[in-house]
Amino acid sequence: MAPLIELTAVSKSYGGVPALTDVSLTVEPGAVHAILGENGAGKSTLMKLLAGVIAPETGTIAIDGQVQRFATPRDAARCGIVCMFQELSLMPHLSVGDNMLIGDGGAALALIRRGSRRAARAVLDRVGGQHIAMATRIADLPLADRQLVEIAKAIGRKPRLLILDEATSALTAERVETVFAVIRALRDAGCAVLFISHRMYEIDAVADRISIFRNGRHIETFAAGTRSHDAMISLMIGQSLKELFPPRRDPPPVSTPPILSVRDLRWAPHLNGVDLDVRPGEIVGLGGLDGQGQQHLMHAIFGILRRTSGTVTLEGKTLTDLTPGRAKTRRIGLALVPEDRKTEGLILDMTIADNLRLAGLSRKPFGLANATDATDAAIAKLIERLGLTYGRLSDPVKTLSGGNQQKVVLAKWLALGPRCLLLMDPTRGIDVKTKAQIYRLLQDLAGEGLAIVLQSTDYEELIHLCHRINVFYKGRVVRELSGAEATPDALIAASLNVSAEAA
């Protein structure tokens, strides 16, 4: 079959740093083409070139055999190329329906017809967004629902080439399956799909062809299923990766008193009586479907929610009137790595150095930002330990890749020397190598006696890292899985609140 898109010898660099070097790639209609690579391998640059956000310095992009130069995303959309970027194409103050209809190429001044709204509703239903009301503002939706809206928005444009860049990173496995069914249907109808994901099981589930990128170069393209995971990972990082998940350390003895205890925590309607114990040296997982209260529990413990009921105790002392500012003090020693590093974890326009020092500012003598103290030394050590890759510490933090940004968020909290670390989806949208580094770090920290609560949408991560997994359903912990019980089947069954046999 004739290729839909053909890139020939494309190169692009940013300020002298090459992002893509001499890349040639063909994309055929009627296939799902996965692009694999570490962060910084050039995947995002490739997507931006195809979507018309940036233009190549050398080389050509041909569509249906004709060379095209895109000045704006609008030009690319006119050629049938629609890109779903990572949470970048939604307007927070507009409703779900308006977001899906705007920019779809309809006449600018004509009234939007009821038929278009109905069509948008149908697309949203198809990708599994039946529960999302069209009149809701995007700003009021949780991250996972926003991703569904973004996917529906892209599909609603009837693309010839659909680009999904980490499109499903905040979705749980069940939701992802619904989205994949739609992607397969699109593929069977002749649409080409470029799919970027860091989750191997998603690649296995949906990809027909796989291309590996490394350091801005196209390494190899092959049919899905012809290489093992280990072989693919080796190609991606240019060396073999011993093991993604380091061996789990032994849990602390049951007799160890918990450092953090939560009893009957309620915050209607999201939390309906949650109990949780975490011991020093233990990694406790929070799993379940999206929006079953896991995220709210984290926020409640860290003092972000107002008017919660129930108790949170730390080493036997009840914590009342907690705010994030109090929670991070030496006396209490909690730290929260939030779900959305781009808006909640970092101030993107500020420098790496300033972001690293933000959490520790209140500990400076007399609040003087330039006075040095113990946290500055701790930060220097952590940069080393995390293997942070950066140009200069005075560069804005947004110039870093996603994985390195996450390392900055981790470092800024770990520098405070917390006793209990709350992590919300810490490896979302992060490449394999950085994931492995973070997993190793978490194991080491637990070995040093830190108590860790890990909320994740990636069930492999929960199973391989956690000593115990608390599965949430409708604001309650419905099951606790530990040791050999923690299997993917059991976890999914518990998430759906059915017994493993029935699933």
Partner 1 sequence: MIWLRRHARLAISVVLLAVLFALYIAIHPRGMSVYVMTIWSNQGALLALAALAQFFVVLVRGIDLSVGPVVALTNVAASYLVSGSGLQVAFGALAVLVVGAACGFANGAAVVYGRVPPIVATLASGSIYSGLALLLRPTPGGTIDDAVSDAVTYDLFKVPTSLILIVLVVLLLAIPLRRTRFGLSLYAIGSARDAAVMTGIRVPAVTLASYAIGGFFAALAGLYISMVTLTGDPNIGPAYTLNSIAAVVIGGVALSGGVGSPLGAVLGAFTLKTISALMFFSGLPPLAQPFFEGAILAIAIVLGALGMLRVRSRLERFA
Give the footprint of partner 1 on this chain (CB under 8 A).
51, 53, 72-74, 77, 83, 85, 88-94, 98, 101-112, 135, 139, 299, 303-307, 323-324, 343-344
Given the complex with partner 1, which of 31 and 50 has the nearer CB atom? 50
Q: In terms of DSSP bridges, do strands 334-337 and 420-424 run parallel, antiparallel, or are they unpaired?
A: parallel
Are 252 and 447 in contact by the 8 Å Cβ rule? The answer is: no
From the list 193, 190, 237, the residue with the least C-alpha distance to 212 is 237
Task: Report the nearest approach of partner 1 to the CB of residue 368 (Å).
Answer: 25
Given the complex with partner 1, which of 439 and 472 has the nearer CB atom? 472
d(CA 31, CA 453): 40
Task: Report the nearest approach of partner 1 to the CB of residue 346 (Å).
Answer: 15
Given the complex with partner 1, which of 31 and 143 has the nearer CB atom? 143
d(CA 120, CA 484): 45
Classify each residue of 85-112 as buried b or exposed e, where b means 16 or more C-beta atoms within 10 Å of its C-beta: bbbebbeeeebbbbbbbeebeeeeeeee
**Amino acid letter, 47:** M
Given the complex with partner 1, which of 94 and 500 has the nearer CB atom? 94
Given the complex with partner 1, which of 185 and 268 has the nearer CB atom? 268
Structure tokens at 179: 């989205």
**Helix 374-386 × helix 432-447 angle, to 10°:** 130
Given the complex with partner 1, which of 79 and 416 has the nearer CB atom? 79
Task: Report the nearest approach of partner 1 to the CB of residue 186 (Å).
Answer: 19
Task: Report the nearest approach of partner 1 to the CB of residue 165 (Å).
Answer: 11
Q: In terms of DSSP bridges, do strands 260-267 and 271-278 run parallel, antiparallel, or are they unpaired?
A: antiparallel
Task: Report the nearest approach of partner 1 to the CB of residue 446 (Å).
Answer: 27
Given the complex with partner 1, which of 115 and 247 has the nearer CB atom? 115
Given the complex with partner 1, which of 163 and 388 has the nearer CB atom? 163
- Other C-beta atoms lying within 10 Å of the C-beta of residue 261: 18
Say if residue 139 is exposed, middle or buried (CB neighbours under 10 Å; 0-12, 13-18, 19+).
exposed
Query: Is the bond into 269 cis (omega within 30 degrees of 0)?
Result: yes
Strands of the sheet with 260-267, listed across from one edge = 271-278, 260-267, 309-314, 317-318
d(CA 302, CA 331): 14
What phi and psi, each to the nearest 5 degrees, are found at residue 280? -60, 135
Structure tokens at 212: 């590996």
What phi and psi, each to the nearest 5 degrees, are found at residue 276? -155, 140
Task: Report the nearest approach of partner 1 to the CB of residue 157 (Å).
Answer: 9
Task: Report the nearest approach of partner 1 to the CB of residue 349 (Å).
Answer: 13
Number of residues in the chain: 503
Task: Return the bridge partners of 317, or none.
Answer: 314
Given the complex with partner 1, which of 76 and 486 has the nearer CB atom? 76
Cα angle 351, 374, 407; round to 5: 40
Task: Report the nearest approach of partner 1 to the CB of residue 388 (Å).
Answer: 26
Given the complex with partner 1, which of 137 and 263 has the nearer CB atom? 137
Task: Report the nearest approach of partner 1 to the CB of residue 81 (Å).
Answer: 10
User: Cα–chain-centroid distance for residue 321?
Assistant: 31
Task: Report the nearest approach of partner 1 to the CB of residue 90 (Å).
Answer: 6
